[in-house]
Amino acid sequence: MPVTDPRQRASDADRQRVVAALERHTAAGRLTLSEYADRVDSVLAARTHGDLGAVTDDLPAEPAAAADPHAENRHLLVAFLLAALVVAVLAVLLGLLR
């Protein structure tokens, strides 16, 4: 977790983001369930951004897409809207050809 000032107090949202990152690292096989549990305990006890950074400093940085959990949902929405547009255009064309 990149921080500009490690002494700055961490918020609940900051802690939730780190726990979500730990979940992804565990799913990728970088952490065992025991390591995950220990790190989550550390995250929940963290007071500063420096404390949070210490929990993840040995893990690789995540790609930008992984940092945005809604990116995949947006891609699905765009695909659905394009499919709906194609169906609507085809319906209009079939109506004109009759």
SS3 10: coil
What pLDDT, on a 0 to 100 scale, did the predictor assign at position 98?
A: 79
| Neighbouring C-beta atoms of residue 19, cutoff 10 Å | 16
What pLDDT, on a 0 to 100 scale, did the predictor assign at position 2?
A: 55
Residue 54: partners with Cβ closer than 8 Å, 6 or more residues away: 42
What pLDDT, on a 0 to 100 scale, did the predictor assign at position 71?
A: 66
pLDDT in tens, 40-72: 999 999 999 999 999 999 999 877 555 566 666
pTM score: 0.62
